[in-house]
Chains A and B, each alone.
Chain A
Amino acid sequence: MTEKSAYQPGASPGERCAIGISFGNSYSSIACTIDDAPVVIANEDGDRQIPTILSYVDGEEYTGNQAKAMLVRNPKNTLISFKDFLGQEFKSIDPTHCHAAAHPQDANGTVSFTIQDKAEGEPSTLSVKEASTRYLRRLLQSASDYLGKKVTSAVITVPTNFTEAQREALIQAANDAELEVLQLVNEPVASVLAYDARPEAKLEDKIVVVADLGGTRSDVAVVASRGGLYTILATAHDYEFAGVHLDNVLMDHFAKEFMKKNANVDPRSNARSLAKLKAESEAAKKALSIGTNASFSVESLAEGIDFQATINRLRYETIARKVFEGFNRLVDGVIKKAGLDVLDIDEVILSGGTSHTPRIAHNFRAIFPETTTILAPSTSPSAINPSELQSRGAALQASLIQEYESDDIEQSTHPAVTTVKHITNAIGVISLSEEGEETFTPVIAPETAVPARRMIHIAAPKEGGNVLVKVVEGNTHIKVTKPEPKPKENGKDSDEDSDDSDFDDSDEEEEEHREKVWKIGTTLAEAAVRDVKKGGKVEVTINVAGDLAVTITTREVGGKGGVRGTLKAP
């Protein structure tokens, strides 16, 4: 972190009380760790997903769901969807989501709001930074109340495309709320950490896609996880397909239903009716994530007319299909951008509130091969609440670093430490298939950051003896097998071939088979391990230094001595 502001709050490392914060445009979440396990904190209303909203009524400040409720009767003094405006110039923001609330304005280039925040007198001009400070102050208060001591410090998650100016503005906003920012962490990485920190998690090299589907934006990242080190390979951002667009689909649906009974009254044409329609549509949407039916009920929706309706999940999934398909395309696109294939993806983490939606997880299940784990509430019983991943990850990181001096944190996050070489190809050894063919066995995965060290145990030939350890580079490619053209069926009544009865539309082409196969590349070195006993195993350790020099050591497992050799840096 290179950002510095004039006022630097915080306590000495021994006295810090640190939390994790996910600060979204729509909702925020705060978490701490208790005995190293993350705990998401409920605010005074009992909410763990706290709407990122501030509202002022008669000089009184409201946040969270209390402020959200004010969108119906006090929208002008209610601030919503402002977080991404931090550190941006007025001319580059998209104010769409503020339409039914306080409008952002240009105050000498910075984004501001004019609101009546005092009981009497003139309205105030509030910069987005000041609004953020006020909101963060309330989050801190909730956390401090829960913990019984003053929170001094935090790790805050940010989108991967947050600019340097946005980061700086966020840090300043936090500092102004007397909060020391220990570190800003990329949102998808916080989510990966939340999963990897579970006690049952195994340390494995894997490629993870994090789909963060929020309220006003959807962000997807491809992350290589290598020995617990995370490298972002590609990211994509979308503002056309997110939670509010699902709200809009339901708003249109219920408005039309309402108009079937009240022909000339469109609840969308009146601000107050629209606000009620929106609030209840979002509630119905959330209910449809749990149940197969949701009710929609608003007193005096428009022109004093009450309205009640129900919707089932199937109907919802039909009318929202375009939005769901948008998520599929986004995920598909970012995998291509990373130069990968769905077959390369080991895990998909669904994060963000919209990820509660079962249809989205089921669609992803269908895009990816069976070998890919889809971590979402509806596809995996052990999934973590998608709305809590980022704050949990941030809290874990906060507990890891809270005892470090700020200078230490700054030095460790410096590009000199974080920017390192990553090997392009895998490094592995040659082993023999049952048919005696040479095959590639990976030891270090592609896209691994160096320095890196990995060790494997590998069987020697059954009869033992002198063994060759051939260290090679390898890479994967996708092998596509076209199905054998089907023999013509000779009659509809034939009762043979009942195996295929599932595929009754025989006109449809059978799907091609795609698999990932290793290709053997350059030989890096050969080593001999001699006199291995019958049924013995060989240990191979490959160590790649920061300059790509390689040290290979190999010996019989349990044996003495062994062979050690080095390859120069390229």
Chain B
Amino acid sequence: MTDTSPNPAAELPIKVVARDVTVSYSGKQALHDVSIEIPDRSVTAFIGPSGCGKSTFLRCLNRMNDTIDGAKVGGSLTIDGQEINDKSIDPVVLRASVGMVFQKPNPFPKSIYDNVAYGPRIHGLALTRPELDEIVENALRKAGLWEEVSDRLNHPGTSLSGGQQQRLVIARAIAVNPEVILMDEPCSALDPIATARIEELIDELRENYCIIIVTHSMQQAARVSQQTAFFHMGNLVEYGPTEDIFTNPRDTRTQDYITGRFG
């Protein structure tokens, strides 16, 4: 029943491939046989009504479902051809290469500097303090936060505004130089101006990363993404170039959803 066009943007290399991925929580199936191919260096949006499985699928990609008791993941999921559910893959290694940004900004209750430096520190990416300083500065620059916080790096990360905190969290994610960045409704707690700033940032980051974003806002999906996948009741209903999904949906459920008939 899934209607998947394998590679909507043929010119880009495929980064993530899912084959018949199923997820169940304590025996209750939350995701049914999802197969999808997500290209690198582009933004892919997951849309769908609440409880449709889009966040669940997102959490499969960095194995965050492992931390939930009773969660079972089946099927095959590869990043760059490597099976990530394989026993030989350590979730710690996987998560270092697949960054994640959450719905609510969740900086550590530490300084701005320490927030960004935490990942590089635990992974041993910097041997000296100047190296670490450089990583932190680069990450903050990429997240578009450097200009605002360069003079108060030792202030607590929680002292920033909501939009700044979310950019700080993005900086924290890109400081370890991941390949994929997962974003779970990153703007739902932000005002329109901060949202616009984040969207701008996502667009900039697209050049270097494979970004997958879950959003409830169809306008946002239309604005930032190149591909869109519509989930419904644990199924991937439709997946294709964003333009096609919004202008010419093939499935009636997709059409009903994007025209606001339900959801």
Chain B associates with chain A: no
Please list the residues of chain B having a beta carbon within 8 angstroms of any beta carbon in chain A.
none
